[in-house]
Each structure stands twice: as C-alpha cells, then as structure tokens.
Structure 1
Amino acid sequence: MKGKFNFSEQFKKFTSSQLIIPVIALLILVIFNLIRDPSFFSVGIKVNNVGNKVLAGNLISILNGASELVILSIGMTLVTSATKGQDISVGACAAIAGSVFVKILRAAGSITVPTIFLGVVVACCIAIVFCLFTGVLIARFNIQPMIASLILFTAGRPIAYWINGGATPNVESNLLGYLGGFIPGCPIPSPILIVIAFLILIVVLLNKTTLSLFIQSVGINERAAKQNGIDPIFMKLLVFVILGICVALAGSMNVCRIGLINHEKILLDYEMDAILAVAIGGNSLGGGKFKLAGTVIGAYIIQALTITLYAMKVSSTDIKAYKAIVIIIIVVAGSPVVKEWVGKMFRRITSATVKAGGR
C-alpha cells in the first residue's frame, strides 16, 4: 500500500546514515552523565570576576571548551574529503598564527578593535601561506598528506618560537578578554558566538555554491572530476586556504583566552582530536563524502568526554588513556564491518519474526 510505513526500510536508512554513530555516542554520554549526576548538564547564572552575570555549568564548559576544536575540525574535514588524507600540522600552524597575532598586537602598542582585526587578518594570511605549502606538496607533487604535513608538524612550533624572538609575551587587554571570555552584557561565552558565526558562514559557502559538490567529487574520483571540468589541483589548494583561515581563527581565539602565546602548549595535540572528530562524525578518512554536522558533533563528543572524566576525578595524566579507549570503541562501532554485521543480524531477526507470524 502506498504510504505504508516500512520499519525495515527505515531502519536500514537509519543505520546507513553517517550521523548514526556520533548521535548514538552523544546520547550514551548524555545518559551516562545523567545517571551518574542528574545535575551534570544543569546551566546556572553566576557573577564573574568583573561583576557580569554569565552562564555557567558543565554544558557551557563543553560548548565553550570545544570552540577551537570545532573550527579546526571543519578545516580538517574539507582537507580529508578532497585529499583522502589528514593534515597533522594544524596545531603547529595555529601556534604560528597565534605568534603572528601577538606580534601584530605588540607592534601596534595599544590594543584596539582595528588592531585586533588587523592581527587576525595578518594571521590568516600567514597561516594560509604555510597551509598552502603543505597543499602544494600534496596537490602538485602527489605526496601523501600525512607525510607532507609532517614537515610543519615538526618545524611549526620552532617557527612560532622565532617569530617573537624566543619569548612568550603577554597581550592582556579588556578587548582580548571580551573575545576570549564574555562581552559585557552578554551571558554567553564569546568563543561560542564566534563558532556559531563561523558555522553559519561555512554552511552558506558550501550550500549556496557548488564548492561542497566539487570537493567531494575530487575526493571520490579525481579523474572523473577532471573529465567533468573540475580542476583537482585548484580544489585541493582551495581547501588548504580554508584550513589556513580555520587555523588562524583557532590560534587567535586561544591567545585571547589566555592572554599570551606559548608556542609549546598552544593547541597541543589538537590535530589528533580534529582527526578523531572527523572520524567520530561518520566521515571517511579515505576522502569523499562528508557531513559537517557529524564533525561538529564529534568535536563536542571529545570535549564532553574530557569534561566527564574530569568530573569523575580522573587525573590529567590518565585522561588521554581513557579517551583513547572510548574513542576506539566509537570508531570500531562505526566501521563498515560492524555496520554490515548489525544489518545482517537485523535482517535475520526480522525474517524470523515474519516466519513466526505467518505460522
């Protein structure tokens, strides 16, 4: 009958969706925390150090703490889709961008809105140059992405160190505090607002143009894309331009949070978390189709897991090990082998149910 609900077909669509694993993983984290502590996700209002009323709670900490990771993961998703590989130098490039941002602010003398804007723009330009260096090695010389990005992964933080003459200078000001913390009169952390604005821009860019289609086409079949008039080299370089912007925003945002640049610590190991966010989000690390929604959920899952472990009094030295165990489970659960096995089991159960009902 036309319009009749087919449970088997709907279940198949659900299990084949890229978003099934991140959504289920997020639900498990939420349920686990609600059982462990019903007030875990409660949001309240408190007065901060400067006397402003702001939102507070674990949920706000998760959304706020994952801001840089969300931005980096978006860039990583596009690079993965187009190049069939990952850039492991995003943390080091963020250190370079952050150092440039600090250099501009200190050179200006006084920190004003135009100075901050100039610092972000210059940081974006420098980050794009460094990201394009990796992009050229990949697009022009066909070097494997992880190998090509290994150069800046190794040399990026020393370069960031040299930019400020081997120092870790402070750049404290109320304006930077507003961008890294709270704008007076607004209870929502500024990094969350920056992420929302960036997500809107990137979604509009991908959905209102053919960019998303072209990136995925290059990642799925580069030769076929070229035959259809798409320039694979240009598209690969373009995703590294976008990655450079993501890197600069993340690096500058982190500087605003802490008020200084520490080339050794800034966004350390974030490249691994960004890759995991892409994988947890249901995106193939072999390139091709992608869903930014899955990546964003994946980034928040990683941060939620971190906050959960801290709430359980797990030491900072042990957190990485616990995160690794949970992430392995999530990634394996989302693998094609496990999905196929679940599908077979479901078909056996439904066929047995049909047979039993027909007797």
Structure 2
Amino acid sequence: MWSFHIPTVVHFGREVVKKRADFVDYGSKAFIVTGRRSARASGALYDITKVLIGQNIVFTVFDEVEENPSFRTIEKGTDLLRAENCDFVIGIGGGSPIDAAKAIAILGANPEMGVEELYSGEIAYSLPLIAIPTTSGTGSEVTQYSVLTDNDGNKRGFSNAHAFPLLSFLDPRYTLTMPKNLTVSTALDALSHSVEGELINNGNNPMIKDFSIKATSLIREYLPRIVAEPENLFYREKLQYASMLAGIVIAHTGTTVVHAAGYPLSSKKGIRHGIANAVFLVDIFSHVSENSKDQVLKAIEPFESLNELSNFLNEFGVNNISISIEEKEISEWAEKAANAPHNIRTPGNRDRSFYEKLYSKLKEMEK
C-alpha cells in the first residue's frame, strides 16, 4: 500500500514565467524573498517583477537572505512583510531563499507566532507561496521542508504541509549563471536526496522508486557534461528536472543520517550543503550495507556499486576538502547526530561512537 501527494502546481520550461505566470488570484501585494545575487544575475527577478507590473500588482523585495538563513533574517523579513501589508510571497533563488520564503509566508499569516514555533507542528495557515528556483539541487520548490539556522548556529529543519509552495516555476535559463562549484554542490545535494529517499522508500512506493532512479540517472549522465559545457541549456534542463524529481522523492520519505551528519559542516565550517552530504554518503551507506546490502544497491541504482558511486563523487573533488576540526567539535557533533530524528528513518543502528569515527576520519584529511 502506498500514496502519492504533491499539492504544488509545477510549470517547467524555458521562459515559463513569461508564458504561464498569473498572480492576480493570489493577492494584491507580493513580498519577494531573495538573496543578494542569484535572483538578479539569473534574470528571474526581472522576469517576475515585469509580470507583476503587467498585472498591476505592487511588490516589496527583501534581498537579505544568506546561505543557511538565520532566525534573525526570518524575523527581519517577517517584520518587513507585515509592515508592508503584503499578502503573498514569492521566493526566488536556491534552497536558502525558498526555505526562508516558506518560513516568512507562514509567520506572515500567523502574527502571534515566532520563529521557534515553526517547529511545533501546530500551523494552520500560510500566505500563498510561489517558488522560482535558480539552482538545481534542493528541490525545495516541491517539498514541505524548510531548513533554518538557529541563534546558536545550528541547522534545524521543520516540515509542514503549509510549507509546500502553491506554484513553482522552473526555467533552466535561470541556472546558467551558477558557477562550477555551485553547480556541482547543488547537483550532489539532489543526488543525495535521490538515493537517500530511495533507501528509506526501499521500493515500497513504485512512483518514488521510478523518480529516484530517473533523477540519479540524469545526474550521473549530465553533471559531468555540464562541468565540461556549463552554458549548455539542454544539459541544465536535464539537471533541473532531476533536482525536482529528487525533491518529490524526499517530500515522501524524508532524508537519512547523511543529512544529519553533514549539517555541522555547512553551518559551522561553511562547506556547501551538497558537498557536506556527499562527504559522508558512501561511508554511511557502507555501514547500512553491512546488514542491508541489497537495499543499498537498489537505492543507488543505476550505480552498480558503492565503489562506482564513490568514484563518481571523487570526480568532483568530494574527498579533497580540508577543514580544521577540534576534538570538542567532534564530540558535540556526534552527540547531535546520534540524537537526530534521521536515525529513525535510516536502516541499521548507529550510536555516538559511530559518528565520532565518521568525523574523526574527516579530521584525518587535515594532515
């Protein structure tokens, strides 16, 4: 028995905003949430504002979202939305601006709520939310997840049905301005979503299995091609489609301890999220494989072995990162990872010592 549900209406294709965007039924004043660069550089912000002006909809731009958006940024954005009396939200950018837009849309509809209450699960309303991704990685445009960074510098994700965007517009042209390192890290994030989600799904939902193998296949085939030909729009289109499929996968399954292990690297050490996942992916899947070998092999299809997957990741320098880690940090990170809810979803058992060994292995790379 299985089920499938994605409430987001997806419009996909070149110049899709120009051809399909109609916002008049969503409100009279838009609150646009972006970072400082990608929305403008990609042309997405121009396209959106042109459509809004053409439909006589006023808008306010909040362009202060950083990578790994902080609680303070969410609070600042929410205060501005409320002051400007905006009634719907448009998130433009990578996963960080779209995740921030989700939080701001919910808080904007619930004036009594603070950021911390996003994690209570007791959310009844959200302002209408529209997502326009400019990267191919997080799949946030089709998920109910938002990952924020709390006031102690820890990444924390919340999940709520009201965080699903109502509409998403995917135009591969917006991903052409991604530099190589961002193209690689976001694609590896999508790959991680695809194989992690299928590890959890284990074939039980045939649609999720099909989406996973398709997403993994596309990334395996087209990521190396994009690195060689970064301006090839056809390749970019394939990678964006893969990212969306992988997002649909984790919308139904969640992620594994690969994500839990990787969070400190991005929130504390500035390693991009996709790379932080990829660093641990093979080691964690190898551990799972000790008792669930067939499950792992099916999850990583069409890769035929973890060795092949490892070689693919190494093509993009995953094992070449160098960061300084203190013993105290290893202990603190291991404690948090061992208590993360991702452990429940991930096959097998892991204790604190497992994560200490995982982080200690990474520390050895300093030498």
Q: Shared fold (TM-score greater than 0.5)?
A: no
TM-score calculated relative to the size of structure 2? 0.29
Indicate the structure (1 or 2) with the bigger Cα radius of gyration: 1
**More contact order relative to length (CA 8 Å, sep ≥ 6):** 1
TM-score calculated relative to the size of structure 1? 0.29
